[in-house]
Amino acid sequence: MTSATFFEAVISGARPKTLAAGIVPVWAGGVLAWELSGSFDAWLWTCTLLGALCIQIATNFFNDAVDGRKGADGAARTGPKRLTGTGEMSFARVMALGGVFLAGAAFFGAFLVIARGWPMLAIGVPSLFLAYGYTGGPFPLAYRGLGEIFVILFFGFVAVMGTVFVQTGEWFHQAVLLGGQIGLLSAVLISVNNFRDREGDALVGKRTLAVQLGPKCAAAVIWLEIKAAAFLGVAWLAMGYPLFGLASLPVLVIGMRIIWGVLTLPPDKRMNRLLALGALELVLFAGVFHAIAWFF
């Protein structure tokens, strides 16, 4: 493998189309922190963002390696190709790449620990461990139907509340609401992915929520995630920031298209477009949220 093809493989394995789930909570959390406190530390925010991205990319590489070894990403896979499953890279090399990015997350996280102390350790250590524990270890969450809960918790509540705490040194209930919305929207991505792959996952013992519940209930979970994320926007009225509820508008519009696709498309590569729509939905939510904070 030449250096050029190796670099291309690393980019592919990092799954750049999914990285909105790592960027958006830090982006929106920084906006909320600025709105609540009137201050913004660009250096700490950059460390938070890079740490979050490193954890997500490490998770993606570990997921690639473990799923490839267990046969979950074989030739019959309808989603984007995976490095280990296709034999493009060895299990050991993909695991090593995950380790490199995990070390990067620890490096950037060290600056957050210096700035904010032990709460960053309490957040960071479990996040580092679960980057591997999502699909590996003695209790792989993705193989137990806990993938959505993991995403809502760590890509929603932990990421948003942690970002706000890093910026302000305080815990705000507004961050809980924003974390819930972003966590649910991030969970849509994993739910659609698992919905598409449910038949192949069942064959290799990967008991995702979609495998355990069946297609009808799994589709209902996606519907619930989208609707709950949108209608939680009403709670911004009680928080004293009613205009932030408008960030739910793209969720309602794009979310309906995702739900329709889940109900009508077969579980093959045509469903990949729904993942792109899910990422767009997440980015537009953050974009509208940011625009409201900036202009109003």
Give domain status of residue 108, yes or no: yes
CA dist 70 and 63 (Å) reads 10
Q: Rounded CA gap, 193 and 211, in Å? A: 12
Separation in Å, CA 161 to CA 154, 185, 246, 259: 10, 16, 21, 29
In a domain, 83, yes or no: yes
Q: Is residue 71 part of a domain?
A: yes
Q: Give the mean pLDDT of the chain.
A: 92
Whichever domain contains 256, its CATH number is: 1.10.600
105/132 Cα distance (integer angstroms): 13
**Which pLDDT score, from 0 to 100, does residue 79 have?**
62
d(CA 4, CA 213): 43
In a domain, 1, yes or no: no
Rounded to whole angstroms, how far apart are CA atoms 293 and 77?
Answer: 42
CA 245 remoteness from chain centre? 22
The residue type at 208: T
Inform me whether the pLDDT recorded for 82 exceeds 90. no
As a whole number of angstroms, the distance between CA 259 and CA 238 comes to 29
**Average pLDDT for residues 66-88, to the nearest whole number?**
74
Cα angle value 97/126/251 (rounded, 5°): 85
pLDDT attached to residue 88 = 85
Lowest mean pLDDT: which of 81-85, 101-105, 184-188, 212-216?
A: 81-85
Q: Is 133 contained in some domain?
A: yes
12: pLDDT strictly greater than 90: no
Task: State the pLDDT at residue 118.
Answer: 95
| Domains identified in the chain, total number | 1
Would residue 3 count as lying in a domain? no
**Domain of 26, in residue numbers:** 9-295
Q: How confident is the model at residue 203 (pLDDT cuts 50, 70, 90)?
A: confident
Q: Is the pLDDT of residue 19 over 80?
A: yes
**pLDDT tens per residue, range 43-73:** 999 999 999 999 999 999 999 998 888 876 6
What is the pLDDT at residue 87?
Answer: 83
Convert the pLDDT of each residue in 88-117 to its tens digit: 889 999 999 999 999 999 999 999 999 999
Residue 204 pLDDT class (50, 70, 90 cuts)? confident
- Banded pLDDT at 3 (limits 50, 70, 90): low
pLDDT at 2: 64
Q: How far is CA 223 from its chain centroid?
A: 18
77 pLDDT higher than 70: no
Instruction: Give percent above pLDDT 70 in the chain.
Output: 96
Backbone φ and ψ of 109, nearest 5°: -65, -25
Instruction: Report the chain's C-alpha Rg in angstroms.
Output: 19
Q: Specify whether the CB–CB gap between 194 and 267 falls below 8 A.
A: no
Q: How confident is the model at residue 78, as a pLDDT?
A: 62
Q: CA 267, CA 22: separation in Å to the nearest integer?
A: 26
Both tokens of residue 255? 């979310």
Asked if residue 14 belongs to a domain, the reply is yes
In this prediction, residue 287 carries a pLDDT of 98
pLDDT tens for each residue of 120-168: 999 999 999 999 999 888 888 989 999 999 999 999 999 999 999 999 9
Residue 4 lies in a domain: no
Q: Which of 99, 71, 97, 106 is nearest to 85 (CA)?
A: 71
Check pLDDT > 80 for residue 229: yes
Residue in this structure with the two tokens 């948003």, named with its chain if needed: 160
pLDDT band of 75, cuts 50, 70, 90: low
